[in-house]
Structure 1
Amino acid sequence: MIDIDFLIALVLILIMFGIGVSLTLSEVKEVFSKPKALLISLTSQMLLLPLIAFSICYFFDFPLYIKMGLIILAASPGGTTSGFITFLFKGNTALSIVLTTVNSLLTLISIPLIVNFALHHFYGTTDAFRLPVGETMKEIFVLTAIPAFSGIMLRQWKPAIAQVIAKYTKPVSTLLLGIVFTLKFFGGNGENGITKEEVLDIFPYALLLNVLCFLTGYIVSRIFKLGLNNQITVSVESAVHNTTIAFLVSGTLLQKPDFGKVSLVYAMFSFWTALLFCFLLTTRFRMNNSSK
């Protein structure tokens, strides 16, 4: 029987390759040559998002395992899904891929610091741990960077083939991602042993975090006048977190699977709220332009 995690990984690799085919090397180079959006988004994700999670924990009274789960989630970077949503709504896909890669590397340091601070604050103890470099690198490069840049290079060397692939990327990727979420939902649900009552307990706070992360990315990008394409990217990268890393921290490194239940609930709806947010944002932009 084929392992669900292997199927999910394969689908994500195919999606990132399809996204890469739609990009050029010059678009990726521009992210570094004009780093304003990259630096603003990284600062927002590294500092503001954990602060938002801590604020929710401070102002609301709910179980500690949910508080820890929210903080681990907020400290986790964006993932493959955020790149696909950015691509789907014509955001800055090159920025999204670079953000996911760079932010994932930074979290090797930031996640242990933030999570240990939270453990000390809520439980009075710390649990010295570090993200396994090899496992995290595999998550970043095998699932994100390598397939994306392989697609970019194919477009560079064989543009005719790349154009054919790019034509079918959106519909095929949408179908594949639907399969991913179905597998993740049914497979992860049993694996984490989450109950209906726990889902109902977690959902309001997970949704609040999701909404506030979207608003933070949007407001920050508006303040610094990054433009619509970057607004989409920064907002989605802020709110669609890499739940795989959150599961790794909760279940494998901390041996606290209850913390990971928050990420499971978050994964159930964050893709759909991202679609809704981007649809509303792009619709508002078109309406404002048509009224001028």
Structure 2
Amino acid sequence: MELIDILVASVLILIMFGIGVSLNWKDTSNVLSSSKPLIVALISQMILLPAIAFALCSIIDIPNYIKVGIVILAASPGGTTAGFITYLFKGNTALSIILTTINAILTIFTIPVLVNFALKLYYGSTTEFHLPFKDTMIEIFVLTAIPASLGILLRTRNQNLAEKIGKYAKPVLIILLGFVFLLKFFGGQGRAGITHAEIIEILPSALLLNIVCFSTGFLMAKLFRLGYKNEISLSVESAVHNTTMAFLISGTLLHDEQFGKVSLVYAMFSFWTALLYCFIISKLQTNAKQS
């Protein structure tokens, strides 16, 4: 593992620990016992989003490498960034963490099927690949479940200390997340060799996918009357995909950097559109309460 990977992993662990400190075991047990939001979110992410991605690719006239890249993105689950944004805007953070964990496990099996279907549909060929089960499971628990659980445990054992940490957590975590983005773009995927012409070619489709993903999560939450906190969680988890996993699939497993360029363009703006989306939704929620 390179030094940059170790630094990114360390920061992500700290972020998940900081998020966990704001929760308690009751929050997580409520998500599991009141399973309606969890089931709706899983249906939305595992079934609706891939189906919508294929539908978009059949409607818009774009090169095949963008179509495959869009399917890879839609099939990739939310990640640490989605959990942090949910936490920042007071969504259902426990739901977000549980969703990230469950989806990451499910996509070990679903991503190869969906991506191979896309390759067959758009290129007339398939390839034998699978997500490394052991490495993926380690990443899920080391970067997500374990640090979040330790944060929750600290709050259970020493609430005063947890509240002191939580008081400074948001500004510190924002700085750490910015550090992660800098590391990724200038030390890793930022050197993917993408041109300005490719960015312009990919950007409209990537933006359209982003808007559709936000809308899908939001409308599903509205349709099933899940409330504001779950609206934030479902929308963000649907739209802020794990682009690191998408890079792995494109470059390492499929050996085609072209597909990864779609994820790179998406990563350039998805964090900022999520912040804008949540800011608007939170303002509307505040105004609705005041009126």
TM-score normalised by length of structure 1:
0.97
Q: What are the Cα deviations for residues 116-154 of structure 1, in whole angstroms up to 9, with x where unaligned?
A: 111110111111211100121122111111110110111
Post-superposition offset of 1:286: 1.3
* CA contact 2:85–2:274 (8 Å) conserved in 1: yes
Range 124-133 or range 73-82, more displaced: 124-133
| Runs of 5+ consecutive residues of structure 1 not aligned to the other structure | none
Relative to structure 1, the CA distance from residue 229 to residue 190 in structure 2 (aligned partners, 3 Å threshold; closer, same or farther) is: closer
Alignment partner, residue 117 of structure 1: 117
Q: CA deviation at 1:246?
A: 0.6
Q: Kindly report which structure 2 residues correspond to 1:116-195, keeping only aligned pairs within 5 A, or say none.
A: 116-195=116-195
Q: Is the 8 A contact 1:24 1:155 kept in 2?
A: yes
Distance 2:49 2:275 in 1: 20
For 2:137 and 2:257, the matched residues in 1 are separated by 23
| Alignment map for 1:65-144 (pairs within 5 Å) | 65-144=65-144
Distance 2:138 2:251 in 1: 18
User: How many residue pairs align between the two structures?
Assistant: 290
What is the Cα deviation at residue 190 of structure 1?
Answer: 4.5
Partners of 1:23 and 1:158 in 2: CA distance: 13
Amino acid paired to 1:123: Y
Aligned to 1:274: 274
Task: Give runs of aligned pairs for residues 184-223 of structure 1, distance below 5 A.
Answer: 184-223=184-223
Change (3 A) 1:56 1:188: farther
Identity %: 60
Match in the other structure for 1:8: 8
Q: Contact 2:76/2:107 (CA < 8 Å) preserved in 1? A: yes
Residues in 1 aligned to 2:157 and 2:189: alpha-carbon distance in whole angstroms: 43
The one-letter amino acid of 2:144's match is: T
Whole-angstrom distance in 2 between the partners of 1:123 and 1:241: 24
Is contact 1:181-1:268 (8 Å) kept? no
- What is the rounded CA distance, in whole Å, between the counterparts of 2:187 and 2:265 in structure 1? 13
SS of match in other structure, 2:126? coil
Kindly indicate whether the alpha-carbon contact (under 8 Å) linking 2:185 and 2:191 is maintained by their aligned counterparts in 1. no
Separation (CA, whole Å) in 2 of partners of 1:260 and 1:172: 30
Q: Aligned pair in 2 of structure 1 residues 8, 178: CA closer, same or farther (>3 Å)?
A: same
CA–CA distance in structure 2, aligned partners of residues 184 and 197 of structure 1: 22
The CA deviation at 1:188 is 3.6
> Secondary structure of the equivalent of 2:152?
helix
- Does the C-alpha gap of structure 1 residues 190 and 33 become closer, same or farther in structure 2, counting only changes over 3 Å? closer
Per the alignment, in what secondary structure is the counterpart of residue 129 of structure 1? coil
| Structure-2 change in CA distance of 1:189 and 1:199 (3 Å) | farther
Matched position secondary structure for 2:135: helix
Q: RMSD in angstroms over aligned alpha carbons?
A: 1.1
Structure-2 change in CA distance of 1:201 and 1:120 (3 Å): same
SS for the counterpart of 2:125 is coil
What CA deviation, in whole Å up to 9, does each residue of 1:250-281 have, x standing for no partner? 11111111101111111111000000000111
Cα distance 1:171–1:135, how it changes in 2: closer, same or farther (>3 A)? Answer: same
Q: State the alpha-carbon separation in 1 of the partners of residues 5 and 67 from structure 2.
A: 27
- Tell me the equivalent position of 1:17: 17
Tell me the distance in 1 between the aligned counterparts of 2:142 and 2:38. Answer: 22
Deviation at residue 38 of structure 1 after TM alignment:
0.3
Asked if structure 2 preserves the Cα contact closer than 8 Å seen for 1:188 and 1:264, the reply is: no
Name the CA distance, whole Å, in 2 between partners of 1:174 and 1:160: 22
- Matched residue, 1:227: 227
Partner AA of 1:199 in structure 2: I
* Structure 2 unpaired stretches of 5+: none
Q: Is 1:257 the equivalent of 2:271?
A: no
SS of residue matched to 2:141: helix
Q: In structure 1, what is the Cα distance between the partners aligned to 2:179 and 2:137?
A: 25
How far is the alpha carbon of 1:221 from its aligned partner? 0.3
The match for 2:243 is 243
Q: What's the offset of the Cα at 1:289?
A: 1.9
Q: Determine the structure 2 residue equivalent to 1:61.
A: 61
